[in-house]
């Protein structure tokens, strides 16, 4: 079975191209910085994983993903090779994305992206506490649809 699940932050905005032909297909490439659990002295504390998303997943990445946001992806590992212009064979490893989603709120990702990931300022809830959840006044338990 070839299945991988990763959670990390985008190192840069996705690079999106479209295939040629009657029905152009979006191809989004991005790199995830995935933290390592354990670190040896002198070793980097993150791995940088190349990802590629096709079709609607590529369009989604183009529209919503920005450098610094935290996402979770699942897909499969695909290896390949090519010969560069100097005649040297280069080996590649990519994660072909099957599913991708956000891992944190817009407000949390704003501190890493230097602003809203979508380009506009995010509205702040008026009755929110520091944890991002809205405070519910005492005595409303009977009005809630769950308890």
Taking the C-alpha atoms of residue 71 and residue 65, their distance in angstroms, rounded to an integer, is 9
- Structural domain of residue 56, as residue ranges? 4-103
Q: Among 60, 51, 57, which Cα is nearest to 118's?
A: 60
Domain assignment of residue 63, yes or no: yes
For residue 55, being part of any structural domain is answered with yes
β-pairing verdict for 4-10 and 89-102: unpaired
pLDDT tens digits for 61-107?
999 999 999 999 999 999 999 999 999 999 999 999 999 999 987 76
Please list the residues that pair with 76 across neighbouring strands.
96
Residue 110 lies in a domain: no
Q: Look at the chain and report how many structural domains it folds into.
A: 1
Please check whether residue 61 lies inside any domain of the structure.
yes
Q: Please indicate, yes or no, if residue 144 is contained in any of the structural domains.
A: no
Higher-confidence residue of 9 and 140: namely 9
| pLDDT for the residue 57 | 96
| Residue 92: inside a domain | yes
Per-residue pLDDT of 4-18, as tens digits, reads: 999 999 999 999 999
Q: Give the global pTM.
A: 0.70
Q: Is 18 inside a domain boundary?
A: yes
Residue 92: which CATH number? 2.40.50.140
């Amino acid at each position: 079975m070839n299945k991988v699940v990763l959670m990390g932050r985008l190192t840069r905005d996705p690079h999106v191209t479209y295939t040629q032909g009657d029905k152009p297909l979006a191809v989004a490439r991005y790199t995830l910085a995935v933290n390592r659990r354990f670190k040896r002295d002198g070793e980097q504390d993150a791995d940088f994983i190349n990802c590629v998303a096709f079709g609607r997943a590529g369009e989604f990445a183009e529209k919503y993903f920005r450098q610094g946001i935290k996402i979770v992806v699942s897909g499969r590992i695909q290896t390949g090779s090519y010969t560069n212009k100097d005649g040297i064979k280069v080996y590649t490893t990519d994660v072909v994305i099957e599913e991708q989603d956000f891992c944190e709120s817009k407000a949390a990702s704003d501190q890493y992206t230097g602003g809203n990931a979508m380009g506009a300022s995010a509205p702040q809830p008026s009755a929110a506490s520091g944890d991002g959840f809205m405070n519910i006044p005492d005595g409303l338990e009977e009005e809630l649809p769950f308890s």
